[in-house]
Amino acid sequence: MPKALVPKRPPREQVTARIYAAAIRLFASRGYEATTMQDIAVKVGMTAPALYYYFESKQRLLYDVIEINFEHFAGMLDLLVPAEADSPTEALRSFVRTHLEFQLEDVDRARIYNAMFLGTGALLESLTAGQRAEILKFQTKVRGRLQAILERGVARREFAVADFTVTGMGILALGEFAVAWFDPDSRLTVAQVADQCADLAVRMVQAPSRRGK
């Protein structure tokens, strides 16, 4: 008899992973308060008290979910730093593409990330002070990276930027808004959208003398 037909009890790790997945989806779509332990339990096929065998509390579950995602955020952050050789235009393209791929690759994770930045979604309120501080650091770093790219572009006269804040936010908006409308089943692939958005960003900053390729 093939061992595949003998369903071994799944290892603890795998169960917690499934719980995390259910929790992040529910927290991201309904918010922390509006999600009950039973909602999560049903989604993984248990009863609510069973969850307490794996997690000490709902609050802790949220904490862990955020914490896990911090690692992904940090990973994206590393990808956002431009290569020295890149022209400002290339650096900006790369920045926007990375940002969009991050956003569209895992919509639930992105919603958590955005909820934090947008101050919406009733998630921020439920975090610990330490996590909130951590989030601010991410925000500052991402904006700093983008600003550096823009400044370099202006210094080289590749870019013409009227206002760094507004332009920077306009560029970030492309990514944060994308999860709201992108449909993975549509004709557009993630890569295509990312490329298109990179184009839009470049257009936003391109100096008049260099426009029209």
Partner DNA sequence: GGCATTATTGAATGAACGTTAAACACGGGC
Partner DNA sequence: GCCCGTGTTTAACGTTCATTCAATAATGCC
| 53 binding its own copies? (CB under 8 A) | no
Smallest distance from its own copies to CB 15, Å = 27
List Cβ<8 Å contacts ≥24 apart for 162-167. 167/204, 167/205
Strand partners of residue 159: 206
Binding mask 67-106 for its own copies (x = CB under 8 A): ----------------------------------------
Tell me whether residue 12 or residue 137 sits nearer to its own copies (CB atom).
137
**Which of these segments, 73-81, 127-135, 148-156, 158-166, binds its own copies (CB under 8 A)?**
158-166
- Residue 67 Cβ vs DNA, minimum distance, rounded to whole Å: 17
206 phi/psi in degrees, rounded to 5: -65, 135
Torsion angle, alpha carbons of 88, 93, 94, 98, to 10 = 140
- Assigned token pair, 140: 């500052």
Q: List the x/- string, 4-43, binding to DNA by CB under 7 A.
A: ---xxx-xx--x-------------------xxxx-----
Give the CA radius of gyration of the chain: 21
The values of phi and psi at residue 91, to 5°, are -60, -40
Instruction: Please report, as ranges, the residues that interact with DNA according to CB under 7 A.
Output: 7-9, 11-12, 15, 35-38, 46-50, 52-53, 56-59
